[in-house]
Structure formats: C-alpha cells, structure tokens
C-alpha cells in the first residue's frame, strides 16, 4: 500500500497540538505502508527540518516541497478569501503548481491524506483516489465556545465571525473527502450534525514513545523530593485562555500562604510578559529547551482552559508522563477522564482549590491518579491504536460518488 500525506508544517519539534497529531500520523504511516510526504515550508530552516525528518520519524520519503505564499501575493489572497467567506489562513497554501503536481501524481497512491483543513481546495482535483482529511478539531465548535466565554463585545464579535467562517468551510468542503477524521467524539458528532459530514472516524492522538517511557519510570525519579511542583499550562495567546490562566494562577497563589512545600509555574509560549504583570506571585515561563525534563519535575498539572475543541495534547502528554492533572470538563472529556480516578475535573475556582488541596496533601493519592492517567493514555492512544486506526481507514476508504463540484482554485 502506498500513502501520500500532504502536510502544512514540519512536525518536528512537536511543540503544538497539530504538530503532535501529525508526528503520530507519520510514525504510524511509516510502520504500515510506503509513505511519501508532500510538504510546505516557510523558511530555509523549515526546509532543512523537512529534509532531516526521516531520521526522527522513520522511513518516510519527502517527494515534493513547496514554499508557502509570501508578500503581496499572500496578502491579496487573504483579502480575497475574507471577501468570499473562506479561511484567510488557506491563502498561505494556495498554489497552482501544487494543484498540477497532485493531479499528475496522485493516481500512484492508494490513499491521499491531508493534515490540515486549509488544504481542502486540493481534494477534488485528485478524484477518484480516496482522500482523508484530518482537521484536528471542529473549529466552528471551538469558536462558538470562545464566543460564549468572551468578556468584551469585540472579542465576542471576532469569535462569531470565526465561527461563521469555519462553519462555511466545514459545510462546503468537508463532504469532498472520502473520510473526515477529527480527534474527539464530540467533534465527530458536531461535524456530522452541523456540517453534514457523512463519513467520519475518530483519529487517536499518539503520544511520543519517549514520554510514555517517562511515565513508567518517573515515580522512582521523584521519590523523596519534598517540594511539590504545580504547572499551570495553556496558550495565553488566546484571549479566553489568557483569562483562564490568570484566574487559575490567582487560585493557586492564595494557597501559597498556607502550604510551604509547593512551587508554582505558569507555562505559555505567548504573552509571558502580560502573564508576569497579572500574576506577580508565581513564576511564568515560556519555551523550554528540555521539555521532557520539565515533565519529569512536574507533580501536578492544572489545565484551566474552558473553550476550544478536540484533544489538548499538552494535557495528554502530562497524563502520559504520569502527572496528576486537573482540568475543566471540556478538556477532560475527550481524554476519557473519570473524576478522582485518572484525573480531577474542576470547572469553578472552589472546585480547583479543593482538587489542589486533595492532591497536595495526599502523596499516595496523587501518585495513584498519575499512574491511572498514564495507563489510560497508553491503552487508548498507544502505537498499536494509531496503527490499527490507519490500517482500517485505508482499507475502508471509498470515494463517494455523489460529491458536488467545489469552487476552483
């Protein structure tokens, strides 16, 4: 079997959710089939990263690499997309050269997989080859949640515009693919109900084998350490998540005066200076060079995000590493968390305070939650589950004959 995977960004290093999903997809594809990759790159550094990808992922072959749109051409396409109600981000990947390459070469493959919804325009040009879309999340659902959580009129209007745009893309483009593969059951239900997607399959999100190995050995590594390290994790670049991080930091800060053996750090890639201003009593850190070492030194993870959709991969990685995690019901649900067994669910400040106290004061209980969290991730999203999912998907993929023609490039 031959697979062609069309990717928008290099999954190494895996420092974001979409990159984690793409890395797991490539590792599974390398194990079951002759897998080729068509990729896009923004810079020479990313082009070099693509070239070195097989050394990290496994036996995959980069068959074509195309630069993304830049400069005035990209700006013009973005404005055109906004006027037409399409995703502005898709302008980055629009290219007639790529369209011709796919039209001329797609027939050599059994299945073509697209790893980003911004590539929807390319799907109809390669029929009747079966096509698979991995959109990660139901983005219209995430935008709707953001609109409900917005604290200002401008943020609310922006979220409603994103919801309208994403809904239009999902309704007009997703039915052009043989199968659409979100990563959570709620997203699957949303796409089937509100976007009219007929064939869906949930894609398990594979965790790095290195992090799973860390989860097996981490308790011996931290045995006897007196300080309990609490990490508050999220992407402060999103307005509603920024507020959630600040609120969680304030709750934990209130406990610092009552607990002497606790350290708190807020982790976010963006807006770290704003977080330091709003959370002066806790440490704020941005990107870290040794992510595995950070996981090893974390005892409790707080993931306070209330919005979004799909699987929060940073939370999933903490669970895989055997860390006792606290999160809201919206982020814990897709990870099959049972409150008090393999994680803690807290939707209000009082619930967060109670969960933190329970985990901080009882070391045996904290370790038990971490062990069950690790086992849950290993069983539900290990290497075998992703490989089996991809094998079943490729075997059953058939192109629907009643698909309507899409808009042209």
- Tell me which residue range forms the domain holding 21: 2-206+383-396
- The more confidently predicted of residues 4 and 387 is 4
169 Cβ contact list (under 8 Å, min separation 6): 86, 87, 117, 120, 139
20 belongs to a structural domain: yes
Do both 179 and 285 map to the same domain?
no
Q: What's the confidence (pLDDT) of residue 223?
A: 53
Q: What's the confidence (pLDDT) of residue 129?
A: 87
407 belongs to a structural domain: no
Asked which of 4-13, 112-121, 303-312 is least confident by mean pLDDT, the reply is 303-312
- Asked if residue 404 has pLDDT above 50, the reply is no
Do both 182 and 100 map to the same domain?
yes
How many Å apart are CA 87 and CA 315, to the nearest integer?
Answer: 28
How many Cα atoms occupy the beta-carbon half-sphere of 128 within 13 Å? Answer: 5
Do both 167 and 88 map to the same domain?
yes
Do both 333 and 226 map to the same domain?
yes
State phi, psi for 73 to the nearest 5 degrees.
Answer: -60, -45
The residue with tokens 């609109």 is 147
The residue with tokens 């370790």 is 367
68 exposed, middle or buried (CB, 10 Å; 0-12, 13-18, 19+)?
middle
- The more confidently predicted of residues 358 and 268 is 358
401 belongs to a structural domain: no
Asked which of 17-21, 221-225, 310-314 is least confident by mean pLDDT, the reply is 221-225
Do both 318 and 297 map to the same domain?
yes
- Asked if residue 345 has pLDDT above 90, the reply is yes
- Asked if residue 206 has pLDDT above 90, the reply is no
**328-342, pLDDT tens digit by residue?**
998 998 888 999 999
- Asked if residue 257 has pLDDT above 80, the reply is no
| CA-closest candidate to residue 309, choices 168, 186, 132, 215 | 186
Q: What's the confidence (pLDDT) of residue 260?
A: 63
- Where residue 294 sits, what CATH number does that domain have? 3.40.50.2000
| CA-closest candidate to residue 403, choices 164, 179, 112, 162 | 179
116 Cβ contact list (under 8 Å, min separation 6): 7, 8, 18, 93, 134, 135
Strand partners, 60: 35
How many Å apart are CA 309 and CA 311, to the nearest integer?
Answer: 7
pLDDT band at 403 (very low <50, low <70, confident <90, very high): very low
Do both 188 and 59 map to the same domain?
yes
Do both 138 and 196 map to the same domain?
yes
406 belongs to a structural domain: no
- As a whole-number percent, the residues of the chain with pLDDT over 90 amount to 21
- Asked if residue 365 has pLDDT above 90, the reply is yes
Q: What's the confidence (pLDDT) of residue 408?
A: 37
335 belongs to a structural domain: yes
403 belongs to a structural domain: no
355 belongs to a structural domain: yes
Q: For the chain, what is the domain count?
A: 2
Do both 189 and 231 map to the same domain?
no
409 belongs to a structural domain: no
| pTM for this entry | 0.83
Do both 199 and 215 map to the same domain?
no
Average pLDDT over residues 169-188: 87
What are the angstrom distances between the C-alpha of 340 and each of 213, 251, 319, 369?
24, 20, 14, 7
Average pLDDT over residues 235-242: 83
Do both 159 and 253 map to the same domain?
no
Do both 201 and 293 map to the same domain?
no
**298-312, pLDDT tens digit by residue?**
889 999 988 877 788
Do both 131 and 235 map to the same domain?
no
């Amino acid at each position: 079997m031959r697979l062609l995977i069309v990717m928008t960004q290099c999954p190494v290093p895996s420092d974001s959710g979409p990159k984690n999903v793409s890395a797991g997809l490539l590792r599974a594809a390398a194990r079951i089939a002759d897998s080729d990759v068509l990729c896009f790159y923004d810079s020479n550094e990313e082009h070099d990263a693509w070239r070195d990808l097989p050394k990290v992922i496994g036996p995959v072959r980069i068959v074509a690499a195309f630069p993304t749109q830049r400069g005035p051409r990209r700006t013009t396409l973005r404005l055109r997309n906004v006027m037409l109600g399409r995703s502005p981000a898709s302008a980055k990947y629009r290219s007639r050269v790529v369209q011709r390459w796919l039209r001329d070469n797609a027939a050599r493959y059994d299945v073509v997989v697209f790893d980003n919804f911004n590539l929807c325009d390319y799907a109809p040009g390669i029929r009747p080859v079966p096509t698979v879309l991995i959109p990660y999340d139901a983005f219209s659902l995430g935008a709707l949640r953001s609109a409900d959580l917005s604290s200002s009129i401008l943020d609310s209007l922006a979220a409603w515009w994103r919801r309208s745009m994403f809904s239009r893309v999902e309704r007009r483009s997703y039915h052009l693919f043989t199968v659409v593969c979100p990563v959570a059951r709620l997203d699957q239900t949303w796409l089937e109900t509100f976007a009219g997607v007929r064939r869906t399959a949930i894609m398990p999100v594979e965790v790095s084998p290195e992090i799973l190995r860390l989860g097996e050995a981490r308790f011996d590594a931290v045995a006897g350490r007196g300080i309990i390290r609490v990490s508050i994790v999220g992407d402060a670049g999103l307005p509603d998540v920024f507020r959630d991080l600040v609120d969680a930091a304030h709750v934990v800060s209130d406990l610092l005066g009552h607990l002497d053996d606790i350290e708190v750090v807020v982790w976010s890639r963006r807006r770290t200076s704003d977080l330091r201003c709003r959370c002066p009593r806790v440490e704020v850190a941005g990107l870290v060079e040794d992510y595995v070492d950070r996981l090893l030194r974390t005892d409790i993870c707080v993931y306070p995000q209330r919005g979004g959709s799909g699987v929060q991969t940073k939370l999933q990685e903490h669970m895989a590493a055997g860390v006792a995690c606290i999160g809201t019901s919206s982020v814990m649900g897709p990870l099959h968390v049972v409150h008090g067994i393999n994680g803690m669910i807290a939707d209000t400040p009082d619930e967060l305070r109670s969960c933190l106290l329970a985990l901080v004061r009882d070391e045996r209980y904290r370790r038990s939650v971490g062990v069950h969290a690790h086992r849950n991730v290993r069983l539900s999203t290990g290497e075998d589950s992703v490989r089996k999912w991809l094998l079943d998907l490729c075997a059953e993929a058939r192109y629907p004959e009643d698909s309507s023609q899409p808009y042209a490039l």
